[in-house]
Structure 1
Amino acid sequence: MSDWIRHAIWWQVYPLGFVGAERTALPDGEPGRPRLRQLEAWLPHLLELGCNGLALGPVFESGTHGYDTVDHFRVDRRLGTEDDLRHVIAACHDSGVKILLDGVFNHVGRGHARFRDLLEHGPQHPSAAWFHVDGDGPDGFGYRTFEGHGGLVTLDHGNPEVVDHVVEVLTTWCDRGVDAWRLDAAYAVPPEFWREVLPRVRERHPDLWVVGEVIHGDYADFVRRSAVDSVTQYELWKAVWSSLNDRNLFELAHAVQRHGEFARAFLPQTFVGNHDVTRLASRLTDPRHIRLAVALLCTLPGVPTVYYGDEWALRGVKEDREGGDDAVRPAFAAQPERPEGEAAATEELHRRLIGVRRRNPWLAGATIGEPDLLTNDVLAFALTAGDETLEVVLNVGDVPADVQLPFEGRVEDGDGTVDDRNARVEPHAYLLVRPR
């Protein structure tokens, strides 16, 4: 893994939503819409926040939401063409921005060429070996699906042809400039499959960074067995919003310590929002706690990711129904517009805290110390790397909190004061302290 990832901060976009694309694929023969190029106009916004990576959701031809891929080598015509994607990649690289694509390799859509072969010719066709075909079903045969969704057909990852296909997809797009990949539903795929695929891709692209979507379990063991570089840190994500809502920082302290253990083995991808979950501003019961969540995102070790619109405190609730993701995957204007009010304040919060991360790049691999103070309302702990130290103090209480520091300090950022070894943090606020 290249060292560049230690300096990466991603801005994540769900492209089909961002550009206001149609809900379903364009009819056959209809030309593509060059919408992907709209992202170029947003690169200055990404950079002004302090990010230096653009993480894109699905961009390949699909039937509906992008996760029912039908052609991994073709850009979804609702987004444009390969030339449009190449244009965005080049614009990113010209601005010093890395680019990540979302690879869906656990399953494909029913419109995928291999599954169409199966539908047309039956289970005796060679393409049947790409899938888990067994029993009866409405198509004349049964097949394994992803989490019960009939439109998502699970691939047979024990088939060498599937291994070769995924290697070819990853390598082809890396050849065209892609720097990193998110592996969708990586947890549903045997880790041994990734271990067979990824070294072959890295033979040509040794600087590639790969993050697997993993919801729960032994993250470090998955990284070790699969050869991915990182996983999505859902355990920390859940603890952040639930502990702030419950005003129970014991839960957060436990998750932070666990996160420190993971970070000793690999750099987790950290986030407080993404395309699959209710937005942070809707999830938190107290809007003042957004700043505490962002402070954690920007100081804890790992690879931080900001989901588009979270920097403006956008609202959106994910619902368990068809179209239930739409509220968290909104369309954005073709050009950035200057925010006002709460949105402007939240953007400035992100810019300031990402600035802390930029001034202290060692935080990416920092060690997390045991809590210096822990109550229901207050948590204080130190992040260290060599001679560097940053004390993080959080207060979800209704009154100021006093904390005895392990060193004589000065305020790096936040809402509070420091007098030698004594820190005071205001209610519902954070304080970041560096040694004098």
Structure 2
Amino acid sequence: MNECAMLHIPDSRYCFATGEKELVLRLRMAREDEKAKVFLIYAKKYDFTFCRKKLPMEIKYSDRLYNYYEIKMRLEDVRFAYIFQIEEDGNTWYFSEDGVTKEYKFEEGFYNFFQMPYINKNDVMDTVDWMRSAVFYQIFVERFRQGNEKKDTSYINMKWDEKPTPKSFAGGDLAGIIEKMDYLKELGINALYLTPVFRSISNHKYDIIDYFTVDPQFGTKEELRQLVKLAHENGIRVVLDAVFNHCSMEMQQFQDVLEKGRESRFYDWFIIDGDFPEPEKMNYECFAACNYMPKLNTANEEVQDFLLEIAIYWIREADIDGWRLDVSDEVSHGFWRRFRKAVKKEKPDSVIIGENWHDAYAYLMGDQYDSIMNYAFTKACLDYFAKGVFSAKDMADKLNSNLMRNTEQVNRMMLNLLDSHDTHRFFTEVNKDKDKMLAAIALEMVFEGAPCLYYGTELCMEGGYDPDSRRGFPWDTKSWDMDFLEKVKELIRIRKQPAVQYGEIKIEEEQEMLHVERMWENSKIILRINMTEEEKKIPKQPEETVLCEDNRFLITITEA
């Protein structure tokens, strides 16, 4: 038995409460030990020496190196003690805080059993309930639709259907989104993620001058309120983009520091090496290497107070449903802890989604974000659908491995995306293969978490890297592939299935196909994706009903 592969950490992603009396336990073991039988030996914490029970554990997830055994316990007493028993080739081992041993002294278990000392209600991470059924649609506001024809358009310097440059302005605004709310509702999405809408000199608005003012190119505060209200009336949530890592050098506070240096009351709002910030020398921290976007010192309590005021202001003023957090992994953990408390107090069912491109477990333990933009899912989809790097088995392994980074609640709220304003368009990445594109969207819809379509995906929009991924939405319906659009709508409707919203997930390879199951009560949804060039015959069970199918995938449902 490979002891080096074994891992269990109490009060972590390997041991977490999903309710006041519900506990999930995971044990990681080497894949080569898959014939081992694993049992959980457990008891109430103060009964462990005298009165224990034993339950078998099953492999729920597998990746390239490991199997993950999981069990969900309904507790009588939230003070819980346990160890693991492993049987393999006629041998028995015990796994406790002392590691793997041949013998275990239960009478001395209070020294070394694993434990969940106590489940406190306020330590249980809640799942934002509406995220279970959410289908997001990301809009790069400047390129979706110009609705206000009476505004000052002197800033517009490109035709709507031209390829953009970094400094292009096409004229998209909030009025354009309001105007096309019926289109969004008909598409079937029920959540919007808007890139920044606050005053800025750029087209993307990630260099914000004034966080309390809607950019005049986009509209007014009243129009933002109107947009959110109309969205809510149509069953659509609205999440805004919070750029709290950095700001524009034109922001009043940084301008004050440029003028007064250390004498400015805002000097410590930024991280400066010297008496004055010098843009040409870039002697201050900034976003990437952009001297026009100075980094905010989010360890400073005054900065924290300022940013928290912004977060609460727009919930109160516009009734938004949450925040997407730009460059969130470069912001103070301490600030995000304050941010979560403030936002959840103001609107308990608001969602907090970080922009972390990598494993973000340190931020996803229930005290900071709810989830992240799941770029690990993006990368896996690129490797499987676009690059041909992954076989079905590789893809199953990778998706399982990604799920094991986080708790069940976090996985249910992950924002699963194929592309965004920061990537190449996925349709371009799959070489404009519509069958592959649809198969990837099918996986998004069935996978655990909330799918997010980048605007125009439903119409096969093309584009390379930023800024080419930010083209104007093609509103000329003559160019639309209506069959593709209808198939996307059909896939979006699958999110209404309870098995997708609440069900457990199983991911494996079957006949060189990716096989994804979602199981809830008496219902089972199965997605099969065939990325080989060989036709596969799938024996259909009499009770199976086809929900959606195309050349490379089949989705069925079985209801007992």
Q: TM-score, normalised by structure 1?
A: 0.86
Q: Quick one: distance in 1 between partners of 2:425 and 2:258? A: 39
Alignment coverage as a number of residue pairs: 403
Greater shift in the superposed pair: 250-259 or 112-121:
250-259
Q: Quick one: distance in 2 between partners of 1:300 and 1:337? A: 32
1:199 aligns with 2:341: yes
Q: Quick one: distance in 1 between partners of 2:541 and 2:285? A: 56
Q: CA deviation at 1:99?
A: 0.9
1:3 aligns with 2:147: no
For the residue of structure 2 that corresponds to 1:90, the secondary structure is: helix
For the residue of structure 1 that corresponds to 2:348, the secondary structure is: coil
Q: Is the 8 A contact 1:263 1:365 kept in 2?
A: no
Match of 1:317 among 439, 464, 470: 464
1:397 equivalent in structure 2: 532
Judged with a 3 Å threshold, the aligned counterparts in structure 2 of structure 1 residues 222 and 407 are, in CA distance, closer, same or farther, namely farther
For the residue of structure 2 that corresponds to 1:156, the secondary structure is: coil
1:272 equivalent in structure 2: 418
For the residue of structure 1 that corresponds to 2:365, the secondary structure is: helix
Matching residue's letter, 2:554: L
Judged with a 3 Å threshold, the aligned counterparts in structure 2 of structure 1 residues 263 and 279 are, in CA distance, closer, same or farther, namely farther
Q: Is the 8 A contact 1:167 1:198 kept in 2?
A: no
Matching residue's letter, 2:207: D
Higher relative contact order, structure no. (Cα contacts within 8 Å, ≥ 6 residues apart): 1
Q: Quick one: distance in 1 between partners of 2:329 and 2:241? A: 15
Judged with a 3 Å threshold, the aligned counterparts in structure 2 of structure 1 residues 193 and 404 are, in CA distance, closer, same or farther, namely farther
For the residue of structure 1 that corresponds to 2:448, the secondary structure is: coil
Q: CA deviation at 1:39?
A: 0.9
Q: Is the 8 A contact 2:279 2:292 kept in 1?
A: no
1:435 equivalent in structure 2: 558
For the residue of structure 1 that corresponds to 2:206, the secondary structure is: coil
Q: Is the 8 A contact 1:134 1:141 kept in 2?
A: no
Q: Quick one: distance in 2 between partners of 1:407 and 1:193? A: 55
Match of 1:77 among 189, 200, 216: 216
Q: Quick one: distance in 2 between partners of 1:271 and 1:141? A: 34
1:306 aligns with 2:429: no
Matching of residues 10-409 of structure 1 within 5 Å: 10-19=136-145, 22=155, 35-64=173-202, 65-135=204-274, 137-138=278-279, 142-176=283-317, 177-217=319-359, 219-224=360-365, 226-247=367-388, 248-261=391-404, 262=406, 264-266=408-410, 267-285=413-431, 286-318=433-465, 325-332=466-473, 337-338=476-477, 340=479, 343-358=481-496, 360-371=497-508, 373=510, 375=512, 378-403=513-538, 409=544
Percent of aligned positions that are identical: 26
| Structure 1 runs not aligned, ≥5 long | 25-32, 319-324, 416-427
For the residue of structure 2 that corresponds to 1:253, the secondary structure is: helix
Q: Quick one: distance in 2 between partners of 1:230 and 1:241? A: 21
Q: Is the 8 A contact 2:145 2:172 kept in 1?
A: no
Q: CA deviation at 1:300?
A: 0.6
Based on CA coordinates, which of the two structures has the bigger radius of gyration? 2
Q: Quick one: distance in 1 between partners of 2:539 and 2:408? A: 27
Q: CA RMSD in A?
A: 2.4
Deviations 1:346-379, CA, capped at 9 Å, x for gaps: 2112100011122x1431343221415163xx22
Q: Quick one: distance in 2 between partners of 1:391 and 1:253? A: 14
Q: TM-score, normalised by structure 2?
A: 0.68
Greater shift in the superposed pair: 225-234 or 115-124:
225-234
Q: Quick one: distance in 2 between partners of 1:259 and 1:152? A: 33
2:41 equivalent in structure 1: none
Q: Quick one: distance in 1 between partners of 2:541 and 2:506? A: 11
For the residue of structure 1 that corresponds to 2:548, the secondary structure is: strand
Q: Quick one: distance in 2 between partners of 1:141 and 1:263? A: 41
Judged with a 3 Å threshold, the aligned counterparts in structure 2 of structure 1 residues 67 and 141 are, in CA distance, closer, same or farther, namely closer
